[in-house]
Amino acid sequence: MSGQPPVWPEGSLEKSRELHADLSIGDRQWHQLKTRRDRRAAELLSAALARLVNNGPDTEVVQLTAQALSWLRGELKDPGCPHR
């Protein structure tokens, strides 16, 4: 320990993880929510936030944020289920 105060307020990491867990779209929800660009973007932004407060790599935070913005702009969409 360097004696410096933590960068993030106490409890921030746990709260960011809880938020991401709440906003994550599971396999069973994907078909119901796949057209909701806002939901996918929120999931990605919460992942970026969780990585940021967990001192994750900047490149990963930037990639998640960029992908969220692409969903919001309508540049990304669900590719659909693969056909057999």
pLDDT tens for each residue of 30-84: 888 888 999 999 999 999 999 999 999 999 999 999 999 999 999 998 777 766 5
The verdict on residue 22 lying in a domain is yes
Q: At what angle do helices 12-23 and 37-53 cross, to 10 degrees?
A: 160
> Which residue blocks in the chain are alpha helix, DSSP H?
12-23, 27-33, 37-53, 58-73
* pLDDT number for residue 34: 81
Predicted pLDDT of residue 31: 84
Asked whether residue 68 is domain-assigned, the answer is yes
Task: Name, in order, each residue with C-beta under 8 angstroms of 45's C-beta and a sequence gap of 6 or more.
Answer: 64, 65, 68
| Residue 78 lies inside a defined structural domain of this protein | no
Task: Tell me the residue range of the domain where 53 lies.
Answer: 12-73
- Going by the DSSP 8-state scheme, the letter that residue 1 receives in this structure is -
Give per-residue pLDDT as tens, 5-27: 668 999 999 999 999 999 999 98
pTM of the model: 0.86
Confirm whether 53 is domain-assigned: yes
